[in-house]
C-alpha cells in the first residue's frame, strides 16, 4: 500500500498491521511505501514474496491498492515518480495518459500480484477501495492521513475475512 498502510501520522501501535499482529499473536511485516503507486506495490510484491516464501512456511498478503492515477516513471537519474501531488518529471506526462490507461495499469499490477500469490499458493486479501480509499473516517495527527479509527476498521475487516 501507500502512506495510509505505512501508518503515516499515527502511532505504531495504532496501525492496522500492528493491531492484526497483536490480535493474531503473529509477526506482521509492513512493506507499504509512502507515495506508492500500484506499480510500486506490484514491483515490491514481486521481490518480497519469492524471498519470504523461502524463509517461512506460511505467508498471507494483505494489499491496499493506491489510486489508479498514481504512476511511476523512472528517469535516467532514477529520482522521479509521479502522483497527483507533485509535478510530473516529464512536462507533457498528463497528455500521455488518461483514465483508461491508468485503469489498465492498475489492473495489470493487480493481475501480477494475484498471479504471483496464486503461483505460490499464498492467500491474498485486497482491501476494498470503498474501505481503503475512504480516508475521511478520521484524521491522523498530521491532519492528512487516516487516523486510528480507520486503521482499526481496516484491521477488523481483515480479521473478519480470516474467519
Cα separation, 78 vs 89, in Å, equals 11
pLDDT of the residue at 99? 78
- pTM comes to 0.84
Grid cell digits, residue 151: 486503521
Whole-number mean pLDDT of the chain?
Answer: 87
| pLDDT higher than 80, residue 112 | yes
Per-residue pLDDT averaged across 20-28, rounded? 96
Confidence grade of residue 85 (pLDDT, cut at 50, 70, 90): low
pLDDT of the residue at 121? 95
Taking Cα atoms as reference points, which of 24, 22, 20, 29 lies closest to residue 59?
29
pLDDT of the residue at 63? 94
Question: Which comes out higher in pLDDT, residue 34 or 148?
Answer: 148
pLDDT of the residue at 156? 96
| pLDDT higher than 90, residue 135 | no
Share of the chain above pLDDT 90, in %: 57
Per-residue pLDDT averaged across 128-157, rounded? 91
Is the torsion defined by CA of 132, 119, 60, 123 positive or negative?
A: positive
Confidence grade of residue 35 (pLDDT, cut at 50, 70, 90): confident
Question: Which comes out higher in pLDDT, residue 81 or 105?
Answer: 105
Per-residue pLDDT averaged across 37-41, rounded? 89
Amino acid at each position: 500500500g501507500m502512506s495510509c498502510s505505512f501508518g503515516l501520522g499515527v502511532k505504531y501501535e495504532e496501525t492496522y498491521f500492528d493491531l492484526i499482529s497483536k490480535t493474531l499473536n503473529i509477526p506482521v511485516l509492513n512493506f507499504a511505501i509512502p507515495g506508492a503507486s500500484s506499480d510500486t506495490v506490484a514491483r515490491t510484491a514481486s521481490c518480497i514474496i519469492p524471498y519470504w516464501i523461502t524463509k517461512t512456511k506460511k505467508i498471507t498478503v494483505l494489499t491496499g491498492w493506491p489510486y489508479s492515477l498514481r504512476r511511476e516513471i523512472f528517469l535516467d537519474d532514477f529520482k522521479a515518480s509521479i502522483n497527483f501531488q507533485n509535478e510530473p518529471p516529464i512536462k507533457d506526462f498528463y497528455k500521455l495518459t488518461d483514465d483508461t490507461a491508468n485503469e489498465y495499469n492498475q489492473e495489470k499490477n493487480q493481475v501480477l500480484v494475484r498471479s504471483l500469490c496464486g503461483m505460490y499458493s499464498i492467500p491474498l486479501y485486497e482491501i476494498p477501495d470503498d474501505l481503503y480509499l475512504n480516508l475521511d473516517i478520521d484524521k491522523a495527527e498530521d491532519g492528512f492521513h487516516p487516523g486510528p479509527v480507520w486503521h482499526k476498521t481496516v484491521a477488523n475487516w481483515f480479521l473478519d475475512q480470516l474467519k
